[in-house]
């Protein structure tokens, strides 16, 4: 039996039951149009700008029990409509940057996001920014934003593990918490944060640990920054920025350097290193075994590529957590604490800004300063 979608949409139900009028956000005509707000602004409230990129938080299934295989499609207007409580916390302005699943977030979207957020946060009246995003590559976008936003104001990346149509969808509460965090004075000077499932984590170390579970975002070793209790954010620490966090000014940048990740395993094909370079990679990251290990054949192939081209090869780890130490007699640059997907973003930024091999090595070493 095909169910009527309107019966399944908690968003739609919430809107009609809403005691207050949600802001009207016009459909965007092109990437990044500022959306018009039609509700009166409450001048005593903070102002938060939401940048919507798509993802599960903006997705609908065909039934309220479907939690995989749904499709992206809800706009920033519908996200906000679903949670009228947000308008008691903050005035909202929305930008629809894209409407894609996060595997399809690309450099165009990242650069537009960085520019949009920097320009919103430069306005005195804006307290913070929220990015709604798919969870699959959320940590990459969050790490990228941490590296390219020059502001003490909170930037919060948020998503959902269940589509909007699911029984106990997590998107609405996550969004309310994200806006609360972005408008909170207490959240300043903490870098870019990821919040889902009541937890507040640093963009630097938070990673997606489970492909399906709600409680998937955390950082085993570095821990959480804070937690929501009754929708109030509580922090465990004073504000601090992650060690090694470096700011890159992307003002004049139109594209990012191509960096590929090669996943190590038993009998890894050594040809992959050449193939990546032939396909245009300007840098490589290996998801190595243990603390960055490759088979001797793969290691020889990587070294030969380095000898022939001089492109930086960063050794990271395929284990969920851990550290790859630096070695003076290796062609490879140690990733330190950065997992492969974060190491890739950092290497992209460094190459884009014209860093040479030694500068890149120093950049990675900043995350583990000598005691």
Check residue 303 for interaction with ligand NAG (CB under 6 A). Answer: yes
Output the smallest distance, CB 352 to ligand NAG, in A. Answer: 12
Rounded Cα–Cα distance for residues 135 and 36 (Å): 27
Rounded Cα–Cα distance for residues 252 and 247 (Å): 14
Please check if 102 is assigned to a binding site.
yes
Which range of residues in 36-44, 134-142, 213-221, 260-268 is near ligand NAG by CB under 6 A?
36-44
- Does residue 162 sit in helix, strand or coil? coil
**39, 42, 210, 213: which one binds ligand NAG (CB under 6 A):** 42
The angle formed by the CA atoms of residues 126, 131 and 137, to the nearest 5 degrees, is: 155
**24, 65, 88, 213: which one binds ligand NAG (CB under 6 A):** 88
Q: Which of 253, 264, 328 is nearest to 292 (CA)?
A: 264
- Determine the longest span between alpha carbons in the chain, in angstroms: 67
With a CB cutoff of 8 Å and minimum separation 6, the contacts of 237 are 225
Which range of residues in 2-10, 130-138, 299-307, 320-328 is near ligand NAG by CB under 6 A?
299-307
Active site residues: 56
Rounded Cα–Cα distance for residues 53 and 76 (Å): 9
- Does residue 17 sit in helix, strand or coil? helix
Decide if 132 contacts 175 (C-beta within 8 A). yes
Rounded Cα–Cα distance for residues 367 and 342 (Å): 12
CB atoms within 10 A of CB 104: 16
**38, 71, 119, 150: which one binds ligand NAG (CB under 6 A):** 150
Check residue 20 for interaction with ligand NAG (CB under 6 A). Answer: yes
Output 19 or 69, the one with its CB closest to ligand NAG: 19
Check residue 366 for interaction with ligand NAG (CB under 6 A). Answer: no
Output the CA torsion sign for 264, 270, 274, 275.
Answer: negative
Please check if 135 is assigned to a binding site.
yes
Output the smallest distance, CB 96 to ligand NAG, in A. Answer: 11
Output 66 or 151, the one with its CB closest to ligand NAG: 151
Which range of residues in 69-77, 80-88, 229-237, 358-366 is near ligand NAG by CB under 6 A?
80-88
Rounded Cα–Cα distance for residues 130 and 194 (Å): 10
Q: Which two tokens stand for residue 217?
A: 């975002």
* Residues belonging to the chain: 371
Rounded Cα–Cα distance for residues 368 and 371 (Å): 8
Check residue 125 for interaction with ligand NAG (CB under 6 A). Answer: yes
- String of contacts with ligand NAG for each residue 255-284, x by CB under 6 A: ---------------xx--x----------
Which range of residues in 42-50, 57-65, 133-141, 230-238 is near ligand NAG by CB under 6 A?
42-50
**36, 185, 215, 249: which one binds ligand NAG (CB under 6 A):** 249
Annotated binding-site residue numbers for substrate:
102, 135-136
- Interface residues with ligand NAG (CB under 6 A) are 19-20, 41-47, 84-85, 88, 91, 98, 100, 106-109, 125, 150, 247, 249, 251-252, 270-271, 274, 300-301, 303-304, 307
Annotated binding-site residue numbers:
102, 135-136
């Amino acid at each position: 039996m095909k169910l009527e979608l309107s019966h399944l949409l908690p968003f739609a139900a919430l809107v009609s039951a809403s005691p207050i009028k949600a802001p009207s956000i016009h459909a965007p005509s092109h990437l990044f149009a500022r959306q018009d707000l039609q509700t009166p602004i409450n001048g005593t409230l903070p102002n938060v700008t939401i940048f919507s990129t798509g993802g599960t938080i903006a997705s609908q299934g065909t039934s309220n029990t479907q939690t995989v295989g749904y499709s992206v499609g809800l706009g920033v207007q519908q996200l906000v409509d679903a949670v009228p409580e947000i308008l008691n916390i903050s005035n909202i302005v929305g930008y629809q940057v894209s409407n894609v699943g996060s595997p399809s977030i690309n450099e165009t979207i990242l650069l537009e996001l960085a520019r949009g957020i920097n320009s919103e946060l430069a306005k005195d009246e804006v307290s913070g920014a929220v990015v709604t995003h798919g969870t699959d590559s959320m940590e990459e976008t969050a790490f990228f934003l941490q590296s390219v936003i020059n502001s003490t104001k909170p930037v919060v990346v948020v998503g959902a593990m269940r589509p909007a149509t699911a029984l106990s969808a997590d998107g609405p509460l996550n969004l309310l918490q994200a806006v609360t965090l972005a408008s909170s004075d207490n959240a300043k000077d903490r870098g870019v944060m990821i919040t889902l499932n009541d937890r507040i984590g640093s963009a630097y170390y938070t990673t997606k640990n489970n492909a399906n579970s709600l409680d998937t975002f955390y950082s085993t070793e570095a821990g959480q920054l804070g937690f929501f209790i009754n929708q109030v954010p509580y922090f465990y620490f004073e504000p601090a920025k992650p060690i090694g966090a470096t700011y890159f000014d992307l003002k004049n940048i139109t594209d990012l350097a191509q960096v590929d990740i090669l996943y190590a395993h038993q009998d890894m094909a050594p040809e992959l290193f050449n193939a990546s370079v032939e396909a245009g990679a300007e840098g490589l990251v290996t998801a190595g075994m243990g603390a960055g290990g490759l088979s001797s054949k793969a290691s020889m192939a990587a070294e030969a590529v380095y000898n022939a081209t001089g492109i930086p090869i960063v050794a990271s780890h395929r284990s969920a957590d851990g550290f790859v130490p630096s070695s003076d007699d290796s062609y490879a640059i140690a990733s330190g604490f950065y997992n492969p997907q974060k190491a890739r973003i950092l290497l992209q930024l460094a190459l884009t800004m014209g860093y040479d091999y030694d500068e890149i090595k120093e950049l990675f070493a900043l995350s583990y300063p000598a005691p």
